């Protein structure tokens, strides 16, 4: 499995995203992903599926030590005591005694970053989590968070129509990984004529081209979601797609001036800051 390195940690370049997956569908998706070679699984307290993810990881033939397991703090779990309590609950549901990565899922307007990150770094020093990071943090929030200790990643929406260059540059400057969620823009990029033309020339699925572009941008990992076994396998095979400089340049142009943000809930931060 291709990996991205930062701060002495190796993160599998493609992970299995579990947002909106529940019950049997989630368990079977994670189990199949692990069986075909995925070694990176992403979940969150807000997803309500940590128990299913934990069952699949525990039941897999893959050793826990070989799986990079990420979860994220829910919006109501940002105070120091809630960080510690909810992380213990996540560990129990996930059937593990440590997390590879714990993230702040969304910036909080109510709890100071210093309090949340302070508790997260305490968990890191105690061995409950190996690394900490943030998610959905615009550049100014990311810079503020970095004042409170090292961060391994900022997990953000990132795809051909939303290239996120300022966030990527910050990650590169601070030896961080950018984790790309929704790398297929919820399927929107799959019908793009440029993507389809390049995919046809490589004899691959358009999703593989879109994911390969994301991974070519720098210190980036991607966590596409899929439920059909063939799509789970196809996404992983994006690691085998090598784009030429000309192809990357053509794909780069798709994000110029684009307003391709899809994930923008009412509690989202000011993305321009």
* Structure token digits, residue 91: 């560990």
The residues, any chain, with a CB within 8 Å of residue 19's CB and separated by 6 or more, are 44, 47, 181, 225
Catalytic, out of 47, 158, 161, 181: 47
* Structure token digits, residue 210: 């879109």
Whether 38 is catalytic: no
d(CA 16, CA 193): 26
Nearest to 192 by CA among 215, 161, 220: 161
The answer to whether 147 and 2 are in contact (CB under 8 A) is no
Q: Within its chain, how far is the Cα of 99 from the centroid?
A: 14
d(CA 192, CA 78): 39
Write down the residue that tokens 């793009």 correspond to. Answer: 192
Q: Within its chain, how far is the Cα of 85 from the centroid?
A: 23
Nearest to 145 by CA among 73, 87, 94, 202: 73
d(CA 228, CA 212): 20
Nearest to 49 by CA among 20, 76, 73: 20
Residues recognised as catalytic: 47
């Amino acid at each position: 499995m291709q990996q991205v390195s930062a701060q002495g940690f190796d993160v599998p370049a493609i992970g299995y995203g579990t947002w909106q997956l529940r019950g049997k569908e989630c368990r079977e998706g994670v189990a199949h992903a692990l069986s075909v070679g995925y070694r990176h699984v992403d979940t969150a307290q807000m997803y309500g599926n940590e128990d299913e993810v934990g069952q699949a990881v525990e039941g897999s033939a893959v050793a826990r030590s070989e799986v990079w397991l990420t979860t994220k703090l829910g919006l109501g779990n940002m105070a120091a005591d809630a960080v510690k309590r909810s992380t213990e609950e996540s560990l129990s549901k996930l059937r593990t005694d440590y997390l590879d990565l714990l993230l702040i899922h969304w910036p909080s307007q109510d709890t100071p970053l210093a309090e949340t990150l302070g508790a997260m770094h305490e968990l890191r020093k105690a061995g409950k989590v190996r690394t900490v990071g943030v998610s959905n943090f615009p550049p100014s929030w990311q810079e503020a968070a970095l004042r409170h200790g090292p961060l391994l990643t900022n997990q953000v929406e990132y795809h051909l129509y939303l290239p996120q260059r300022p966030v990527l540059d910050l990650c590169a400057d601070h030896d961080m990984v950018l984790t790309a969620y929704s790398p297929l823009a919820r399927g929107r990029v799959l019908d793009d004529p440029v993507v389809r033309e390049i995919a046809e020339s490589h004899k691959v699925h358009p999703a593989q081209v879109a994911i390969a572009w994301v991974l070519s941008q720098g210190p980036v990992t991607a966590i596409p979601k899929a439920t059909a076994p063939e799509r789970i396998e196809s996404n992983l095979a994006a690691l085998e797609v090598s784009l030429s400089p000309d192809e990357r340049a053509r794909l780069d142009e798709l994000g110029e001036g684009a307003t391709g943000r899809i994930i923008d809930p009412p509690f989202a931060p000011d993305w321009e800051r």
